[in-house]
Amino acid sequence: MEKILNYIDGEYREPQSGKWLDNYEPASGEVYSKIADSDASDVAAAYEAAKNAFPEWSNTPIEKRSRILMKIADLIEENLYRLAEAESKDNGKPLSLATTIDIPRASANFRFFANAITQFSSEAHESVGLQTMNFTLRQPLGVVGCISPWNLPLYLFTWKVAPAIAAGNCVVAKPSEVTPLTAFLLGEILTEAGLPKGVLNIVHGTGPSAGQAIVEHADIKAISFTGGTKTGEHIARTAAPMFKKLSLELGGKNPNLIFGDCDYEKALNVSVRSSFANQGQICLCGSRMYIEASIYDQFKNDFVEKVKALQVGHPSEADTNIGAVVSKPHMEKVQSYIKLAKKEGATLLYGGEAVTIEGYENGYYLQPTILEVDDNTCRIQQEEVFGPLVTLMKFSSEEEALALANGVKYGLSATLWTQNLDRTMRLSKQLEAGIVWVNTWLNRDLRTPFGGMKQSGVGREGGFEALRFFTEPKNVCIQFGDRL
Ligand code: NDP
C-alpha cells in the first residue's frame, strides 16, 4: 500500500514514531494508502532543516527565488492530470473540478507570487525639517508554519507556502491528514524545480499531534492557518503566550441575497453553483439564500428543479456534478444537521438522503439538500455545516435582508444579486463580510485581499497582503546634514 511520507530537508522520510494513519478514498470508502502519523519529533526535524536553509534562502536574490517558483508552477502544470486524479481520489471531488480549478490554481499561486515578489516595494519618507530619511525594510520572518484544510487541498496549501517562500522564509507545513496526497506529490516537484533543501518541509499527521507541535514550537515565528473557527480559536490561545504572528482564515456561513430586480437566469444558475460546488465544501459557498418576496415562489420552484437535475456520482465520471463528501464522519455531521433542521421546523424541499452508487456502495454520497426556513436564529442558519446543504428564506425589504445577512457570528463572504447601483453601493458597505460579490460568485483576482471579518478570521491573504504578513517591517531612520 502506498505510503505518504514526510518531505523534510529535501527528502522523503518516514515518521520517527513509526506510526501510520489510514487514508480513505471517499468515493469507495476504502483505505488506499497510509499516512505518516508525525509528532513533535518530526516537526523538530523539519524546523532544524528550515532553520539551516534560512540564511542562504533569505539572501538569495529575488529574481532567483522567483525563477524557482515559476519552475514549480510549470511543473504543476505539466503534472496537471496526475495531480488532479490524485486530488479527486483523495478528496472525493469531481475530477472535472480538480482539473479545471484546484490544480490550475495551485500552479497560479506559485506563478502569481513569483511575480508579486519582484514588485513588492517598501516606503521611504524624507523629513526635510529633521534632516532624516526613513525607509522600511521588509525582512522575512525566519521559519514559519502553514496549516491547511481538506476542502481545496493543494489549492490552499500552495496559497500559503508560495508567498511564504517567495518572501524569503523557510516553512514547516502541514496539510490536512484527510487529504495529504497532493502535498506529498508536490515534494518531487520541489526537488525537480531546484528548490534548495529545507526551504519547504512538509509534515503529515493529525492536527492535535503534528499541527499542534508546529503551533507550539517556540521558534516558529508565525502561523498561517486555514480551517474551522474552533481550531482557529485554539491556535490563537496556544500561540498567544509566544506572541506569534497569526493569519487565521476560518469558517463561513455566507449569505446569498437575491433581489427582485436581479438578472434572474444568471442569479438562478450561479446560485446552484454557489450552493453545491465541491459538494458545498467551499468556505465561500452561499449556504444561506435570502430571496425577495416578490420573486420568492417562482425562484424557489426553479431552484429546486435545477438542483434536481444535478448528477450525484463517482468523481471520475464526466457527467458528475456532485462527488463524494470528504469522509464518513463529515457525512454523518451533514446528515445530523438535516435531521436537526427538520426538528427545528425547517421544511425539506429536496434531498436529505444518502445516495448509493453501484460498485461504490461504501462511498460517502449525499443528495444536494434544500431546506426552507423562516427563523434566522435556528441552528441551521447560525452554524457552519460545510456540506451539500442550502437554506432558503424570504425577505420583504432591503433593511430586513441586511439584518438577516449580518445576523450570524461569521463574516467571510456575501453575494448580492441586484441591478440597482445605489443598493449595490449601500449594501457593499454595510454587509459584514471580507468579500462581497455582486452579480457573480467566486471570481478571484489574486491581487485582491482575501479573508473574513468577525469569527471568520483575522488578517488577509492575497496579493501584497500575504507578502506583508510573511515579512517584518523594520523602519530605519538616518539623519544627514548638520542638524544635532
Ligand atoms: P480544521 O480546523 O479541522 O483543520 C484545519 C487544519 O488544521 C488541518 O490541517 C487540521 O489537521 C489542523 N488542525 C486541527 N487541529 C489542530 C491543532 N490543534 N493545532 C494545529 N492544527 C490543527 O478544519 P477542516 O480541515 O475541517 O476544514 C474545514 C474548515 O475550514 C471549515 O470551517 C471551512 O470554513 C474552513 N475553511 C476556511 C477557509 C477560509 O479561507 N476562510 C477556506 C477553506 C476552509 P487534520 O485535518 O489533520 O486534523
Which of 432, 343, 337 lies closest to 380, judged by CA? 337
Is 284 close to ligand 1, i.e. is its CB under 6 Å away?
no
**295 and 219 assigned to the same domain:** no
Which of 202, 234, 198 lies closest to 216, judged by CA? 234
Cell triple for 261: 430586480
Contact 392, 372 (CB under 8 A): yes
**384 and 417 assigned to the same domain:** yes
**Cβ-based burial of 469 (10 A; exposed 0-12, middle 13-18, buried ≥19):** buried
Per-residue DSSP letter, 7: E
**20 and 161 assigned to the same domain:** yes
**Cβ-based burial of 366 (10 A; exposed 0-12, middle 13-18, buried ≥19):** buried
CATH, residue 60: 3.40.605.10
Q: How far apart are CA 446 and CA 68, in angstroms?
A: 20
Cα-flanking dihedrals φ and ψ of residue 263, to 5°?
-75, 100
Contact 415, 392 (CB under 8 A): no
**113 and 184 assigned to the same domain:** yes
Closest atom of ligand 1 to CA, residue 250: 41
Coil/strand/helix, residue 217: coil
Contact 23, 328 (CB under 8 A): no
Whether 10 maps to a domain, the answer reads yes
Q: What is the share, in percent, of the chain residues with pLDDT greater than 90? A: 99
Which residue has a Cα nearest atom 21 of ligand 1?
211
Q: Where are the alpha helices (DSSP H) in 194-327?
A: 212-216, 229-239, 264-276, 296-308
Closest atom of ligand 1 to CA, residue 178: 46
What pLDDT does 484 receive? 76
The torsion defined by the Cα of 324, 325, 330 and 331, in degrees rounded to 10, comes to -50
What pLDDT does 1 receive? 83
**9 and 135 assigned to the same domain:** yes
> Containing domain of residue 259, as a range?
255-438
Is 52 close to ligand 1, i.e. is its CB under 6 Å away?
no
User: Which residue among 146, 170, 262, 283 is the active-site one?
Assistant: 283
CATH, residue 314: 3.40.309.10
Is 306 close to ligand 1, i.e. is its CB under 6 Å away?
no
Whether 158 maps to a domain, the answer reads yes
Could you confirm whether 332 is annotated as catalytic?
A: no
Whether 446 maps to a domain, the answer reads no
**C-alpha 231: how far from its chain's center?**
14
Is 149 close to ligand 1, i.e. is its CB under 6 Å away?
yes
Is 250 close to ligand 1, i.e. is its CB under 6 Å away?
yes
What pLDDT does 483 receive? 82
Could you confirm whether 283 is annotated as catalytic?
A: yes
**C-alpha 451: how far from its chain's center?**
10
Whether 364 maps to a domain, the answer reads yes
Q: What is the reported pTM?
A: 0.97
Q: What is the pLDDT of residues 220-266, one digit of tens each?
A: 999 999 999 999 999 999 999 999 999 999 999 999 999 999 999 99
Contact 396, 259 (CB under 8 A): no
Is the backbone of residue 359 left (phi > 0), alpha (psi -120 to 50) or beta? Answer: left
**200 and 301 assigned to the same domain:** no
Please give the C-alpha separations between residue 99 and each of 102, 150, 155, 316, in angstroms, as whole numbers.
Answer: 7, 17, 12, 11
**298 and 197 assigned to the same domain:** no
**167 and 68 assigned to the same domain:** yes
The best mutation among 156, 217, 226, 287 to test binding of ligand 1, ranked by most ligand atoms within 8 Å of the C-beta, falls on 226
**190 and 332 assigned to the same domain:** no
Encode the chain (484 residues) as per-residue pLDDT tens digits: 899 999 999 999 999 999 999 999 999 999 999 999 999 999 999 999 999 999 999 999 999 999 999 999 999 999 999 999 999 999 999 999 999 999 999 999 999 999 999 999 999 999 999 999 999 999 999 999 999 999 999 999 999 999 999 999 999 999 999 999 999 999 999 999 999 999 999 999 999 999 999 999 999 999 999 999 999 999 999 999 999 999 999 999 999 999 999 999 999 999 999 999 999 999 999 999 999 999 999 999 999 999 999 999 999 999 999 999 999 999 999 999 999 999 999 999 999 999 999 999 999 999 999 999 999 999 999 999 999 999 999 999 999 999 999 999 999 999 999 999 999 999 999 999 999 999 999 999 999 999 999 999 999 999 999 999 999 999 999 999 888 7
Contact 140, 165 (CB under 8 A): no
Domain count, the chain: 2
Whether 484 maps to a domain, the answer reads no
Whether 207 maps to a domain, the answer reads yes
- What kind and span of H or E run contains 43? helix 40-58
Per-residue DSSP letter, 311: P
Per-residue DSSP letter, 362: T
Sequence letter at residue 4: I
**229 and 118 assigned to the same domain:** yes
List, as one string, the DSSP characters of 74-105. HHHHHTHHHHHHHHHHHH---HHHIIIIIHHH
Q: What is the pLDDT of residues 465-484, one digit of tens each?
A: 999 999 999 999 999 988 87
User: Which residue among 25, 87, 177, 249 is the active-site one?
Assistant: 249
**196 and 110 assigned to the same domain:** yes
Cα-flanking dihedrals φ and ψ of residue 345, to 5°?
110, 5
Whether 443 maps to a domain, the answer reads no
Is 177 close to ligand 1, i.e. is its CB under 6 Å away?
yes
Is the backbone of residue 232 left (phi > 0), alpha (psi -120 to 50) or beta? Answer: alpha
Whether 482 maps to a domain, the answer reads no
Place of cell 532567483: 64
Contact 172, 16 (CB under 8 A): no
**339 and 429 assigned to the same domain:** yes
Please give the C-alpha separations between residue 339 and each of 60, 214, 241, 389, in angstroms, as whole numbers.
Answer: 56, 37, 41, 12
